[in-house]
Amino acid sequence: MSAVGELMLDVRDLTVRYTRGRKVVSALQDVSVTVGVGETLGVVGESGSGKSTLGRAIVGLAPVHSGTITFAGEDITHAGERRRRDLSKNLQVIFQDPYSSLNPTRTIGQTLAETLRVHGKLSAAEVSGRVASMLERVGLSADAAQRYPGRFSGGQRQRIAIARALMAQPRLVICDEPVSALDLSVQAQVVNLLRDLQTELGLSYLFIAHDLDIVRHLSDRIAVVYRGRIVEQGPADSVYDSPETDYTRALLDAVPIPDPVRQRERREARRARRQGSQSARCAPTVTEMETP
């Protein structure tokens, strides 16, 4: 999937600090990750580990204390508002909550057209043509353009959010838990859609999730975040099949599966595979979600 050597995103030694009253909190500490052209980097970790902070820092929405963020060869660590607006043509985000991320007072067509207006001078007919074909591409009918977000289900809204992110034909899309709010069956559809679009359009993804199972399906490589630091990073299959840290192991075992028998079998199989594996670099904190 990825082109060797070409980097779409290069994050080096990134430290992000938030100030809470008189306390300073490092949400990320010396984080280094890369995303190649056409590649997907999965970023996993429990709630509060700093995943969204990484995505937000890349698009200029979190306070960078030190380190660099290079996008398509350009240092964008401290890019100003105007440059950010131009960058958004190539660098887009899909947020977790499809209910709050769409403006309820605008039709889907208006929302999708907005991106095109910012980035180019197209005629009204060209704009509506591009909106209609993007809606069809994400599995919705073109007449959805006339309707408001309130008329759509969670899965449909997330398809609309994906369509909006792709309107400007970006090169890198940061997907911040784009399917976590959706039903399991809809999750699979949206994940498949993201994968098809990646192949079709040559997109690079930074895909954030707390569920390692979802990330594995999409990712070439996986970075595991624990308390603001990357504790493990490598090819998706090796992180999944032979995790190096107890933290990753705990994260894997915590993935909820609807079928308790399958879950138990899977956990036992994983434990058997792990016998003899090397010692851990950090202690597990993820609570195993046992199905009764």
Ligand X SMILES: Nc1ncnc2c1ncn2[C@@H]1O[C@H](COP(=O)(O)OP(=O)(O)OP(=O)(O)O)[C@@H](O)[C@H]1O
Q: Which residues bind Mg ion (CB under 5 A)?
A: 52
| C-alpha pair distances (Å), 239 with each of 43, 71, 77, 290 | 12, 26, 29, 22
Residue 187 interface partner, choices ligand X, Mg ion, none, CB cut-off 5-8 Å depending on type:
none
Q: Does 248 bind ligand X (CB under 6 A)?
A: no
Nearest approach, Cβ of residue 18 and ligand X (Å): 3
Nearest approach, Cβ of residue 196 and Mg ion (Å): 25
Q: Are 38 and 4 in contact (CB under 8 A)?
A: no
Closer residue to Mg ion in complex, CB, 158/263 = 158
Nearest approach, Cβ of residue 45 and ligand X (Å): 5
Q: Considering CB under 6 A, how many residues would be counted as binding ligand X?
A: 13
Q: How far apart are CA 1 and CA 219, in angstroms?
A: 10
Burial per residue of 135-153, b for 16 or more beta-carbon CB atoms within 10 angstroms, e otherwise: bebbbbeeebbeeebeebe
Closer residue to Mg ion in complex, CB, 56/157 = 56
Closer residue to ligand X in complex, CB, 51/171 = 51
Nearest approach, Cβ of residue 180 and Mg ion (Å): 9
Assigned token pair, 80: 């100003």
Cβ-defined contacts of 187-192 (< 8 Å, 24+):
187/214, 189/139, 189/155, 190/155, 190/158, 190/159, 190/162, 191/217, 191/218
Q: Does 101 bind ligand X (CB under 6 A)?
A: no
75, β-bridge pairs: 70
Q: Does 164 bind ligand X (CB under 6 A)?
A: no
Binding segment for ligand X among 2-10, 41-49, 167-175, 235-243 (CB under 6 A)? 41-49
Q: Are 226 and 217 in contact (CB under 8 A)?
A: no
Nearest approach, Cβ of residue 241 and ligand X (Å): 24
Residue 50 interface partner, choices ligand X, Mg ion, none, CB cut-off 5-8 Å depending on type:
ligand X
Burial per residue of 191-205, b for 16 or more beta-carbon CB atoms within 10 angstroms, e otherwise: bebbbebbeeeebbb
Q: Are 30 and 17 in contact (CB under 8 A)?
A: no
Q: Are 216 and 40 in contact (CB under 8 A)?
A: no
Residue 18 interface partner, choices ligand X, Mg ion, none, CB cut-off 5-8 Å depending on type:
ligand X
Residue from 36, 45, 155, 178 in contact with ligand X (CB under 6 A)? 45
| Binding map of ligand X across residues 3-22, x = CB under 6 A, - = no contact | ---------------x-x--
Closer residue to Mg ion in complex, CB, 11/135 = 11
Burial per residue of 16-46, b for 16 or more beta-carbon CB atoms within 10 angstroms, e otherwise: bbeeeeeeeebbbbebebbbbbbbbbbbbbb
Site for ligand X in 48-77 (CB under 6 A): 48-53
Q: Does 159 bind ligand X (CB under 6 A)?
A: no
Binding site for ligand X (CB under 6 A): 18, 20, 25, 27, 45, 47-53, 210
